[in-house]
Copies of this chain bind each other. A is one copy, B any other.
């Protein structure tokens, strides 16, 4: 049972190169080490690397999938929520997260950053290609997670 755990969203593209995957995995590790649950889109790339990191540290991972098949979840997802609503599931990830960390990312990630900011959530970005007012830029995975936990513990 994981009652009262914080949910930290990790968002990023479904495909990524090794250097981005390493950052995402470290983000996942740091989240799990601090006892929070990782929530993400449940697919590959950044989502899979982050879930793998959390998994290695014994953390719990939730994937809010766009489709209707559990098999589409990456192998590090403990709990697959099958939204069957495509991109609209991005709003559920944003809403359900206490705070979010975006690792690099494509348009889907940008939509999630924007929705999260719209909802008043803390959004920390790593290796972002866009300049969006309101996000907090971190230099590495550890700093990103520290910022996030600093913000959510205040509330």
Residues of A within 8 A of B (CB): 1-3, 5, 7, 37, 55, 58-62, 64, 68, 78-88, 90-92, 94-96, 106-108, 110-112, 114-115, 117-119, 129-134
19 residue pairs from A and B, CB less than 8 Å apart: A1-B55, A1-B58, A2-B60, A2-B79, A3-B78, A7-B79, A82-B92, A82-B95, A84-B85, A84-B95, A86-B91, A87-B115, A106-B118, A107-B118, A111-B111, A111-B118, A130-B130, A130-B132, A131-B131
* Nearest CB of B to A113, in Å: 8
Q: Contacts of A134 on B, CB cut-off 8 Å?
A: 107
- Residue A118 contacts which of B37, B80, B87, B119 (CB distance < 8 angstroms)? B87
* Residue picked from A60, A81, A90, most chain B C-beta under 10 Å: A81
Contacts of A5 in B (CB 8 A): 78-79
Please tell me how many copies of the chain the complex holds.
Answer: 4
Asked if residues A118 and B108 are in contact (CB atoms below 8 Å), the reply is yes
Q: Decide if B78 touches A1 in the complex (CB within 8 Å).
A: yes
Tell me the complex Cα distance, A95–B113, Å. 19
Docked CA distance A34–B87 (Å): 30
Q: In the complex the two chains form, is B86's CB within 8 Å of A92's CB?
A: no
